Amino acid sequence: MSPAVIVKTLQEKHIQLAALTDHNTALNCPAFAKCCRDAGIAALYGMEAQTSEELHVLCLFPVLRTAIDFCAAWYDSLPDIRNKPEITGDQVYVDENDEIVGEVEKYLITSAPWTLDECAAMVHQSGGLVIPAHVDRPSFSMMSQLGTIVEGSWDALEFVRPQVLQNERQAVSALEIKLPAPYPVITSSDAHYVEHIGRRAFDLDIGDMPLVNSDGTVNIPAVLSGLAKRVVQP
């Protein structure tokens, strides 16, 4: 699952927009940025943050430097629990050639002291997108930790189950999940293995708007316009 291998797989599956979101860190994003740029793939950068409620939220940024700075501050707030590679595995980050650059010292599957609402406010203040992750999953999700989908300033809600793509309104009803307000509903790979990349990709209809700005960053207004077409009414 190195950035180079991820991007090669994205090319093979004709995916045009992708995000790299490791748990509580963005240190593999520079290599991902370089590989995506060389491959002509639009990239978002960030992390899958674990909040104080022990739920996961995707924090996505169009600018690499912003993602690195935000995620570094988030990492600094994590409890000082050291990773034990012999027990929980290596936590390395690499360059675009798969050469190891360094190793993350803190154990990354822990919670920061920030709530979901606080996380969302901080991400939006930095120009990013906030998407609560796998909200219907039985662990580290809104449903598992809070018992319901809560209202907030979410740019979308990520579901795991593929039928959400096929018929969004019926799928949400069938899952017996009541949305508190209209939200865009998406799925995404949540890939931890190469073979999972693109397994729940979705179409983002941005019309005639460019996906990428002249400076190479993802056009966030275009992404938001595409998400707006995926809104599910409660």
In sequence order, what DSSP letters do the residues of 76-115 get, joined into one string? Answer: HHS---B--HHHH---EEE-TTS-EEEE--B-SSS--S--
Give ∠ CA 155-6-67 in degrees, rounded to 5: 45
Whose CA is closest to 141, among 223, 58, 60? 58
Q: pLDDT value at position 52?
A: 98
Q: pLDDT value at position 176?
A: 61
Q: pLDDT value at position 85?
A: 94
Q: pLDDT value at position 234?
A: 77
Structure tokens at 88: 């929980």
Q: pLDDT value at position 180?
A: 87
Task: Give me the residues of the chain with pLDDT under 70, please.
Answer: 162-176
Q: pLDDT value at position 174?
A: 45
* DSSP-assigned beta bridge partners for residue 45: 20, 61
Cα–Cα distance, 183 to 181 (Å, whole number): 6
Q: How far is CA 42 from CA 2, 168, 177, 212, 217, in A?
A: 17, 26, 32, 7, 8
Q: pLDDT value at position 161?
A: 75
DSSP 212: B
Q: pLDDT value at position 113?
A: 98
Instruction: Tally Cβ neighbours within 10 Å of residue 38.
Output: 11
Return the H-helix or E-strand segment holding 145. helix 142-146
Q: pLDDT value at position 37?
A: 97
Return the H-helix or E-strand segment holding 184. strand 183-187
Q: pLDDT value at position 160?
A: 87
Q: pLDDT value at position 75?
A: 97
Q: pLDDT value at position 232?
A: 86
Cα–Cα distance, 38 to 6 (Å, whole number): 13
Q: pLDDT value at position 165?
A: 42
Whose CA is closest to 177, among 187, 164, 189, 166? 164
